[in-house]
Amino acid sequence: MIRLQEAKVACSNCNMRELCMPVGLSDDEMTQVERLISNRRKTARGEHLYQAGDDFVSLFAVRTGFFKTSVASEDGREQVTGFLMAGEILGMDGIVSDRHACDAVALEDSEVCVMPFDKLEELSAHVSSLQRHVHKIMSREIVRDQGVMLLLGSMRAEERLAAFLLNLTQRLQARGLSPSNMVLRMTREEIGSYLGLKLETVSRGFSRFVNEGVLEVQQRQVRVLDQQALKSIANPTVCA
């Protein structure tokens, strides 16, 4: 009889493998990694995976679903710092002080693989490709953040929006999904927070793109009609 517990999906079979797992592991090493992350956790839409101030114990790999991360200033302003989809890693903000520095909230019912960080460190001391992988994941996050700074510091509203949409299409494509047809998991307000804009500005941007024939938008359903146009908007001088 099948257990009522969720059926285990091993990393070696996981279709997100190439996104969150180092390549070139031996069978033995793979087994060790699978033991490390044998634990899973479901997070319902709207629930926190963790909050600022929580003890840091584990990193999380998104298996299914969609998350946002956000930081709040002391006076209550919230800044969305990222949107995360399957195969991406959450929680690295907590390493430095053993407490999480931001909130992570599921924007739809989601499931993550739990990776206890002390175990991850221990194993990566013996498996150099895993060690390298951990470093690359953290470095990737640093580079991504620099890109967001560039966006927030030097782009105008419609450029930001175009860059945001392009980024989404690329990440969907990397997962074998349609890059032109997507359902946004977040509200206009959350997009605005991420992009340093008000929700009305985001909405107007979408409307403008629709009028220009770049997008079709129906609520959160977005279809990219002219990816090239998006690129030229996001990066005017190069693509004009």
Partner DNA sequence: CGCGAGCTTGATGCCGATCAATGCATGTGG
Partner DNA sequence: CCACATGCATTGATCGGCATCAAGCTCGCG
Site residues (vs DNA, CB under 7 A): 156-158, 187-189, 192, 196-204, 206-207, 217-220
Q: Which of a second copy, DNA, none is residue 236 near (CB under 5 to 8 Å by kind)?
A: a second copy
55 binds a second copy (CB under 8 A): no
The residue among 101 and 229 lying less far from DNA, judged by its C-beta, is 229
Give the tokens for residue 61: 């790999």
Contact 89, 140 (CB under 8 A): no
Least separation in angstroms between CB 77 and a second copy:
5
The residue among 138 and 225 lying less far from a second copy, judged by its C-beta, is 138
Instruction: Calculate helix-pair angle for 227-234, 157-174, nearest 10 degrees.
Output: 130
Q: Which of DNA, a second copy, none is residue 235 near (CB under 5 to 8 Å by kind)?
A: a second copy
Quote the longest CA-to-CA distance of the chain. 63
Least separation in angstroms between CB 91 and a second copy:
10
Residue with tokens 């605005």: 192
Q: Which of a second copy, DNA, none is residue 158 near (CB under 5 to 8 Å by kind)?
A: DNA
Which of 101, 177, 210, 217: binder of a second copy (CB under 8 A)? 101
Contact 162, 233 (CB under 8 A): yes
24 binds a second copy (CB under 8 A): no
Q: Which of DNA, a second copy, none is residue 157 near (CB under 5 to 8 Å by kind)?
A: DNA
Contact 151, 195 (CB under 8 A): yes
Cβ neighbors of 200 (< 8 A, separation 6 or more) are: none
Binding track over 119-158 against a second copy, x by CB under 8 A: --xx-xxx-x--xx-xxxxxxxxxx-xxxxxx-xxxx---
Kindly provide the b/e burial profile for residues 207-231, where b requires at least 16 CB atoms within 10 angstroms of the residue's own CB: eebeeeebbeeeeeebebeeeebbe
The residue among 50 and 111 lying less far from a second copy, judged by its C-beta, is 50
Cβ neighbors of 18 (< 8 A, separation 6 or more) are: none
The C-alpha atoms of residue 181 and residue 224 are separated, in whole angstroms, by 6
59 binds a second copy (CB under 8 A): no
| CA-to-CA separations, 228 to 110, 146, 156, 163, in angstroms, rounded | 32, 24, 18, 12
229 binds a second copy (CB under 8 A): no
Residues that bind a second copy (CB under 8 A): 71, 73-79, 81, 92-97, 101-102, 121-122, 124-126, 128, 131-132, 134-143, 145-150, 152-155, 193-196, 235-238
